Structure 1
Amino acid sequence: MDTQRLIAFVVFSFSLLMLWEAWQDYNKPKQPSAAVAQQAAPSQGALPTPGQALQATDAASETPKGGAAKGARAVIKTDVLTAVIDANGGDIRELDLSHYHQDEDKTKPFRLLEERQGRNYFAQSGLIGHDLPNHKTVFELVPGERELKPGQDVVKLTLRAQSGGVELTKTYSFRRGSYAVELEQTVRNLGQATVDAFPYYQLMRHSQAPEGQSALMHTFTGPAVYTEASKFQKIDFKKIAEGKAEHVKEAQDGWVAMVQHHFVSAWLTQNPTDSGRREFYTRALGNDEYAAGMILPVLKLAPGESKSVATRLYAGPQEQDKLKALAPGLDLVVDYGWLHVLAYPLFMLLNWLNKLVDNWGVAIILLTVLIKGAFYPLSAASYKSMAQMRKLAPRLQSLKEKFGDDRQKLHEAMMKIYQEEKINPLGGCLPILVQIPVFIALYWVLLGAVELRQAPFALWITDLSASDPYYVLPVVMAITMFIQQKLSPTPPDPVQAKVMMIMPIVFSVFFFFFPAGLVLYWLVNNVLSILQQWRINTVIERAGKK
């Protein structure tokens, strides 16, 4: 197996893996039965769960088939987002990100949280306890400013509700330039007896991947939980529906999130005043909707006593430097697959290069050149072996014609030639195998970096995260693959030779749907490989003529 076939095999296998994952995601169950939904409820431990406390309010699913109940609404606008908060539950029902546009309609802002039939995605909160205010309680919207004014740093929204002998006040704070929304829940005991209230925070979402995402580029969509003890854990919607979701149930710290390509929403909180452990849960709600959340330790309120719990909801792009500053492990929501240990340093280098040149496309080119330079000795050894094999191609072909179908004698004769010429037939493959993990890690970096979203390169390439609108890069890349085929040893088997000639066409079709940033990376890598391989071939051919 020569280097060209090895690279083709790896890329083709990687593409098949992505297609298989996308197919699995497409065929996940849409409406789990009531029995399955009950199995997927959180553990029945010392802490009560939202499922227990809220069944009296709605014995069916969390969201009725006719849609979520609606109340009075407040629209909050800042310089980076627009949020719609419904008085029915005090949920954030919609969240538009002003600096990002939709994939389908670039004239509209990207909508992360949304209220739409079959695609509901809400941020919810409340109290667990007998008849206490929760995300189904009707709140009163307190009058106040709704839009961040010039020179103003924060705009707040307050909601109040009374139920079960307590008053719950929710205060949302939206800050300039921030995707982190602060929420303070203040509980006041209005009765004559002690009240136990468990604050909870959850994200309710449908299971579908973001609209506009290519099936060839499968990235994780679903809940995630992080604690210091158990670290980062993804939770598959399908396993939640089947009641087989495995994740940490209780911890002293941590956060819960909903992850999708380029964006994330996450409830982040410090330990409340009362000591204790928080509980994490996931459950299927029916109607292809799922909830992931956490319950904080109990607030014990004596008659007339008030207590507050402060949290933050981050709902925005997966910008790693900002995520890392918000909470431990939050930057892990950027999906680098199983090569995170390699991908993260590559992203940091790419980010540093972009700061130097102020162009993500140029930064990709420079990073590819640097990686190619770092692996130059290995690549040179590989191409030298390939050039020697190419020089021997006529002799090997004559052996095939001489021995015909006698593969044993053919193999013995070929090995004799290799020994005489001091050539290792695997010499072109082994150096490439060492480089493959780095190139796959760089693939995940370019696929997962939200910084490339809407980032222009040059001329017609105005978004490196979108496919080339005129397919120029994929076509040029196919041409470079044909050139590589000509510089590589011709397989002695005619069938293999024809397959290898078709490969560039097959891969160019794949790359039609890939982001321009990925295609640019492969194109630059191919060009550098061609130059290096051509130079080595020339040197060896000249040496052979002397």
Structure 2
Amino acid sequence: MDTQRTLLAVVLSIIVLVLYEQWMAPKPTHPAAAPTAVTQSATAKPAPAPTSATATAPSTSAAATLSGTVTSGLASPAELAAAPSVPFATQVYQGSVSLLGGDIVHLGLKHYPTSSSDKAPYPILTPESARLTLQQSGFRALDGQILQGRYRLLQDTGHTLIFQGEAGPLRIEKTLEFAPDSYLIHETVRVTNGGSSDWNGSYLDQILRNDRSESHWFMSIFTGAVLMHNGSFSEKSFSDLRSHPEDWSGSGWAGMTDHYFLEAILPEPKATGQIYARAEGPNSVAGVAVALPRLAPGQSTTIEQDLYLGPKEQKTLSSLGRGLEQTVDYGWFAIIAEPMHGVLSWFHSWTGNWGLAIVLLVLAVKILFFYPSAISYRSMANMRKLQPKLEQIKKQYGEDRQKMGAAMMELYRSEKVNPMAGCLPIVIQMPVFIALYWVLVESVSLRMAPFVLWIHDLAAPDPYYILPLLMGVSMFIQQRLNPAPMDPMQKKILSALPVIFAIFFSFFPAGLVLYWLTNNVVSIAQQYLITRHVMKEV
């Protein structure tokens, strides 16, 4: 085996891996269309404050409500879209809270446009059928009955919304607190039993999403439920939820994720309840049902939790300390990818341009592997130096491959050349390059990030195919510096690779192509200098 064959095997393996992941990705289902309506703003006169009392400790019967499957009974997306709502805005959000359920029914992310052609805030929550993603909350009685509150606005301070409402015998005061520049929303729910008998049950909060999956130019991107149960993180695709719904008792959180964004329900860390995810009609839900203490008539209890509704920014998610950073999937080499993302962000803080940050990161990786690469290129140069003698051996022994192989090994020994010396450095570097590949794929910072001139979105393919073409040219130049393969068929395959890769990478995000092109250019410079030096040696 020589370096050319190793390189060919590695390259083809990457292509096969990418195509296999795309083929194995769950096929999207088509959610049933739901009518939508324009949300109206509404306020109302405050209702009398609920009677205050001290709540009793959770009873065993209350905990029993968490052992069964949570029953659907909340308002439909069409009902939520048609219900009156209260608008709000922060530095990062623009949205509205429905007075049916007291949940956020519309939410746009101001710092993230919908697309390159649509500069409206990205709709992370919406009742529209094509992008259906909603927060839903309510109360589940011990007998399984679902109670959803109907609210009126009590107070709006600009950063805090306070609602009052009723759900069956329960009187509720719900407070939503928005930090000016944060994607974390604090929710406080005070519940009072206004009935004449004890009430026992749980408070459930969930994310409803249609089963739309995502693909990213030949790359399989996970879309589905994310769950943290007693410290154990798991991902469940929509197809998995249809065949294997999840229903666990304990502490944790639940939500939905796609390529760049996360919607998560985060109860208090010590709160115990039910972590669940399942299919629901044409859609899927993931949520948490927190056990409430038994409430005698007039007694109250308070639930506090957070909602994370925003981008999957590694630093932000890690700072929350709930394991949310695990929703950023760096693949098999996450242990390498995570620090590389930190370095990439550091370079961006210097340059203010994510494209330049990618270039600097590639340079840093090349410097790190300068010595192993030098060994590989020196081996290739030595093999190139022996090409004339290898050709003579091939002519001398013709079709007698056994004698030809023995003669070639004798030549390697006499010239003190190890044809395997170039293979190991390439294999050692592959985990780093694959990790960098996933850093660029998963980084939400590259979404809509411009580079230079015609590159306005590093997460989208080059619209004029200039970068893929340059990458193909760089591969061709790099091949000219390598020793030609002895096998004619292998030579034909290698000569076709620059064209194949140029076509293949024309569908990839510009940031990935820029990474590969930069790596090739630096490799060419290093290989050229080493080859030139070796060829001059006597």
TM above 0.5? yes
Q: Judging changes above 3 Å, is the alpha-carbon distance between structure 1 residues 175 and 362 closer, same or farther for their aligned structure 2 residues?
A: same
Residues 353 and 366, structure 1, Cα contact 8 Å, conserved in 2: yes
Question: Which runs of structure 2 are paired with 1:146-225 in the superposition (5 Å)?
Answer: 148=158, 154-163=159-168, 165-210=169-214, 213-225=215-227
Post-superposition Cα deviations, 1:366-418, rounded to whole Å, max 9, x if no partner, equal 11111111111100111111111111223223333333333222222221111
Task: Show the counterpart of 1:261.
Answer: 259
Distance 1:46 1:9, change over 3 A: farther
SS at match of 1:522: helix
Q: CA 1:265/1:453 → structure 2, altered by over 3 Å: closer, same or farther?
A: same
1:240 alignment counterpart: 241
Question: Deviation digits for residues 209-260 of structure 1, max 9, x if unmatched?
Answer: 34xx534122211111124542x211222211112x5x78233x32212111
Deviations 1:463-505 (A, max 9, x none): 2222222222111111100000100111112221111111111
Q: Give distance in 2, aligned partners of 1:104 and 1:131.
A: 49
Letter in 2 for 1:233: S
Secondary structure of the structure 1 residue equivalent to 2:182: coil
Query: 2:103 corresponds to which residue?
Result: 91
CA 1:21/1:517 → structure 2, altered by over 3 Å: closer, same or farther?
same
- SS of 1:301's equivalent in the other structure is coil
Aligned-pair Cα RMSD in Å: 2.7
In the alignment, structure 1 segments of 5+ residues that lack a partner are 33-44, 149-153
The one-letter amino acid of 1:22's match is Q
Specify the code of the residue in structure 2 equivalent to 1:506. I
- 1:39 is matched with none
**AA partner of residue 299 (structure 1):** P
For 1:282, the equivalent position in structure 2 comes to 277
Q: CA deviation at 1:104?
A: 5.9
CA contact (8 A) 1:19 1:215 kept: no
Residue identity in the other structure for 1:277:
T
- Contact residue 214 and residue 513 of structure 1 kept, 8 A: no
Per the TM alignment, residue 52 of structure 1 is displaced from its structure 2 partner at its CA by 4.9
Structure-2 change in CA distance of 1:373 and 1:406 (3 Å) = same
Say yes or no: does 1:357 pair with 2:351.
yes
What letter matches 1:89 in structure 2? G
Match of 1:322 among 309, 316, 326: 316
Structure 1 stretch 405-414 or stretch 518-527: which is displaced more?
405-414
Q: Secondary structure at the match of 2:87?
A: strand
1:270 aligned residue: 268
Deviates more, 1:394-403 or 1:77-86: 394-403
SS at match of 2:483: coil
Give yes or no for the alignment of 1:475 onto 2:487. no
How many Å separate the matches in 1 of 2:492 and 2:265?
Answer: 55
Distance (whole Å) between structure 1 residues aligned to residue 523 and residue 197 of structure 2: 77
Task: Pick closer, same or farther for the CA change 1:51–1:467 going to 2, 3 Å.
Answer: farther
Q: Which is further off, 7-16 or 392-401?
A: 7-16
State the number of aligned residues. Answer: 509
Kindly state the Cα deviation for residue 145 of structure 1 after the two structures are TM-superposed. Answer: 4.0
Counterpart contact for 1:196–1:300, Cα < 8 Å: yes
Query: Hey, what does 1:139 align to over in structure 2?
Result: 150
Deviations 1:407-459 (A, max 9, x none): 22222222111111122221111111011101110111111111222222222
Conserved 8 A contact 2:66-2:273: no
In the alignment, the residues of structure 1 paired with residue 82 and residue 185 of structure 2 have an alpha-carbon distance, to the nearest angstrom, of 22
Q: Find the aligned partners of 2:417 and 2:241 in 1 and give their Cα distance.
A: 55
CA distance in 1 between partners of 2:209 and 2:414 (Å): 66
Indicate which of 371, 376, 379 corresponds to 2:373.
379
Secondary structure class of the residue paired with 2:25: helix
SS of corresponding position for 1:97? strand
TM-score calculated relative to the size of structure 2: 0.87
Give TM-score, length-normalised by structure 1: 0.86
What residue in structure 1 maps to residue 361 of structure 2? 367
Provide the rounded CA distance (Å) in 2 between the counterparts of 1:347 and 1:176: 26
Matches within 5 A, 1:105-120: 105-120=117-132
Alignment pair present for 1:441 and 2:453: no
**What code does the residue aligned with 1:445 have?**
V
> Which deviates further from its counterpart, 401-410 or 374-383?
401-410
Partner SS for 2:441: helix
Unpaired runs of 5+ residues, structure 2, are 33-61
Once the two structures are superposed, what CA deviation does each residue of 1:113-153 show, in whole Å capped at 9, x if it has no partner?
2222254211122221158985x73513326549x4xxxxx
Q: Which residue of 2 aligns with 1:522?
A: 516
Cα 1:15–1:84, aligned 2, differ >3 Å: closer, same or farther?
Answer: farther
Q: Where in structure 2 are the equivalents of 1:370-519 lying within 5 Å? A: 370-519=364-513
Task: Kindly indicate whether the alpha-carbon contact (under 8 Å) linking 1:199 and 1:297 is maintained by their aligned counterparts in 2.
Answer: yes
Question: Which residue number corresponds to residue 19 of structure 1?
Answer: 19
1:208 and 1:29 mapped to 2: Cα distance?
A: 6
Match of 2:57 in 1: none
CA 316–11 in structure 1, closer or farther in 2 if over 3 Å, else same = farther
